[in-house]
Amino acid sequence: MAEKGHKAGLFDLRLIIAVLFGIYGVVLTIVGLGFTTDADLAKADGLNINLWSGLGMLVVAAFFGVWTFTKPLVVPDEVPEAEG
């Protein structure tokens, strides 16, 4: 039996999370690549935290985006009435 309903589309929370992680990831990656000073690196024991955090957020955003499109959320057209 096929499920009747429609896809959540832009209202799927996973897509909203993916977009937010993607935006923050791009910003942190740009800051990590272009605006990190030697003083910033010294505070973090030589690790470019902005760059690695940004790349990690982009990976999470890609995961949520792929998950949203491979397993779309189906919203039923009618809500069944509760018995009892």
The residues pairing with 75 across neighbouring beta strands, listed in sequence order, are: 6
Is residue 14 within 8 A of residue 68, CB to CB? The reply is yes
pLDDT, tens digit, for every residue of 22-45?
999 999 999 999 999 999 999 999
> What token pair was written down for 13?
């929370």
- Residue 1 has what pLDDT? 46
- Residue 82 has what pLDDT? 75
* pTM, rounded to two decimals: 0.80
Average pLDDT, the chain: 89
Helix (H, G, I), strand (E, B) or coil at 7: strand
- Residue 3 has what pLDDT? 56
pLDDT, tens digit, for every residue of 68-83?
999 988 877 777 777 7
